[in-house]
Amino acid sequence: MRILMAGASGFLGTPLVDRLTADGHQVVRLVRRPPRTSDERQWDPSAAQLDPAVVAEADAVINLAGAGVGDRRWNDGYRRLIRSSRVDTTTTLAITIAGLTAADRPGVLLSSSAVGWYGNTGDRVVDEDAPAGEGFLADVCRVWEAATRPTEDAGVRVVRLRTGLPLHRDGGLLKPQLLPFRLGIAGKLGNGRQWLPWISLRDWLDAMLFLLARDDLAGPVNVVNPNPVTNAEFTRELARQLRRPAVMPIPALALKVVLGGFAHEALTSTRVLPAVLDKAGFVWTHPDLPGALHAALTE
């Protein structure tokens, strides 16, 4: 399969390119600079510029583009970047796909979204049927997913990847926590009762290949583990595996000083289940947190 990918150099895109290539697929990466290799094609999503011929060559399109939500302290400018980096890329891809003839369109678009769609659910369990919640990330997810509509209206299968928090030492939820945990200055965030919708990197990669192959699956898919944990539970398990104490809770006020607007999202409780994947028969390699954390820290 020839796969066109946006966001191929990111925390999730890099291992996904490796996995797809190892499985015999050909990956063509969209880049904003002039191409340096034969597997790169240039585009400019901020100006809605993408050569339709590049898309017409693809059997599938994967869109993982977007500025990291936890990479910087949030201010008004970074909020705008979080939104535009997702909506502009998705809109450019969706409109370009829709503008092709039916014979030239790729068969599927896997497009990133996030469990931020649901907002703060507290202890309430939600699945893909739940409506969008409230808050900045929920609003971003709403317009982000809506940007795929031209592709869907053109009759192409669209999967909206409501991804949780992938676990791996090289990025995501885990990387920024490792140093303070190893120094013994870490602890739960706030009261620790907020639910974390996590997933192992291996299971996330497996889910991507599963969704590429399953022509019967479309619409929103929660790419999260079926066994969410609270922040306090996550903190205890990570401390146990690192053999370090984690007895210094980080107050909500301190988070607001350090993280700015992102502090609210860091304290949000999202208790999400992967109903679509479970019903479709997806098999989890790491169904529990201890095994997933061990793999994240050692593999």
Each residue's pLDDT tens digit, 180-225: 788 887 788 888 899 999 999 999 999 999 999 999 999 999 999 9
What is residue 266's predicted lDDT score, i.e. its pLDDT? 67
CA distance 218 to 202: 22
Close Cβ partners of 194 (under 8 Å, ≥ 6 residues apart):
230, 231, 267, 268, 269, 270
Give me the CATH number covering residue 201.
3.40.50.720
Cα-flanking dihedrals φ and ψ of residue 137, to 5°? Answer: -65, -35
pLDDT tens, 128-162? Answer: 999 999 999 999 999 999 999 999 999 999 999 99
The domain total for the chain is 1
What pLDDT digit, counting tens, does each position of 17-65 carry?
A: 999 999 999 999 999 999 999 999 999 999 999 999 999 999 999 999 9
pTM of the full predicted structure?
0.93
Average pLDDT (116-128) is 96
Residue 57 sits in which domain range? 2-298
In the structure, what pLDDT confidence band is assigned to residue 175 with cuts at 50, 70 and 90? confident
24: CB partners within 8 A, 6+ apart: none
- Residue 90 confidence (pLDDT) above 60: yes
Helix ranges restricted to H, 100-174: 136-146, 149-153
